[in-house]
């Protein structure tokens, strides 16, 4: 695969982050609190799959692993679309090897609604851009996305999910994504490490997992020796 949704979001925060993901992933240091937040987000996403009732999930793992089999997921998604399944979760799409998996696709009379699930109490701009990337890939695959929603968590268990319509904002990023996705594709294949000065992008919108490496607090040989 070329650029995934995660690749794009990380690359737009900092190109060096994406380059390190591809060439030196052993340097990552994921703080325990960050991992806990990611795990909670996954749990919330799993619960949200049923927010519209019965659904079919497209997740397929490579044998003996927890690594998604993207080609198998794409094929499974196409079969679900042909069968007109009303609600498809983790629907996978690929355009020129660029890939995304949508949390929820809900069929309408004339197209689909896209739902991106976030374990947060409000909508942030990075969430909209995340959904916008999915809309870009899915639309280029020929599927009509009519509305786009960010699903945040509700105030209580009786109202656990709140869909927020971000259609206009998300579709407005189409050209921005097209202008950057090909440059990120090129950049991640560079043989020499990308040089980027530490700055605001090191912590916003998320703290980078390579913070220690880029700030010199932990050297590359130390991280390898420590097994990080």
DSSP label of 194: P
To which H or E segment does residue 116 belong?
strand 112-117
CA distance 88 to 82: 12
Residue 139 has pLDDT above 80, yes or no: yes
Q: What is the pLDDT of residue 220?
A: 55
122 in a structural domain: yes
The dihedrals phi and psi of 213, each to the nearest 5 degrees, come to -65, -50
pLDDT mean across residues, the chain: 93
Q: Which residue segment(s) compose the domain that 45 sits in?
A: 5-15+30-197
Q: What is the pLDDT of residue 149?
A: 98
CA distance 130 to 12: 11
203 in a structural domain: no
pLDDT in tens, 79-126: 999 999 999 999 999 999 999 999 999 999 999 999 999 999 999 999
Mapping DSSP to helix (H, G, I), strand (E, B) and coil, where does residue 202 land? helix
Q: Report yes or no on whether pTM surpasses 0.85.
A: yes
45 in a structural domain: yes
Q: What is the pLDDT of residue 216?
A: 84
127 in a structural domain: yes
Domain count, the chain: 1
pLDDT grade, residue 223 (50/70/90)?
very low
Tell me whether the omega of the peptide bond preceding residue 205 falls within 30 degrees of 0, making it cis.
Answer: yes
pLDDT in tens, 1-32: 689 999 999 999 999 999 999 999 999 999 89
CATH number, domain containing residue 119:
3.90.320
pLDDT in tens, 158-212: 899 999 999 999 999 999 999 999 999 999 999 999 999 999 999 999 999 999 9
């Amino acid at each position: 695969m070329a650029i995934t949704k995660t690749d794009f979001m990380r690359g737009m925060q900092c190109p060096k982050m994406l380059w390190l993901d591809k060439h030196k992933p052993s340097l990552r240091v994921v703080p325990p609190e960050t991992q806990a937040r990611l795990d909670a987000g996954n749990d919330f996403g799993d619960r949200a799959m049923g927010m519209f009732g019965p659904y079919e999930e497209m997740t397929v793992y490579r044998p003996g692993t927890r690594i998604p089999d993207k080609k198998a997921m794409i094929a499974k998604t196409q079969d679900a679309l042909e069968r007109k399944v009303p609600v498809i979760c983790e629907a996978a799409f690929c355009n020129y090897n660029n890939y995304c998996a949508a949390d929820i696709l809900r069929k309408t009379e004339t197209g689909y609604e896209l739902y991106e699930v976030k374990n947060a109490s409000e909508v942030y701009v990075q969430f909209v851009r995340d959904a916008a990337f999915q809309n870009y890939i899915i639309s280029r695959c020929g599927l009509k996305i009519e509305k786009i929603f960010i699903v945040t968590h509700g105030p209580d268990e009786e109202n656990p999910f709140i869909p927020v319509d971000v259609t206009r904002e998300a579709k407005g990023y189409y050209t921005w994504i097209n202008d950057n996705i090909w440059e990120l594709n090129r950049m991640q294949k560079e043989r020499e490490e990308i040089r980027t000065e530490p700055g605001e992008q090191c912590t916003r919108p998320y703290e980078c997992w390579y913070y220690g490496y880029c700030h010199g607090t932990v050297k590359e040989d130390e991280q390898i020796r420590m097994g990080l």
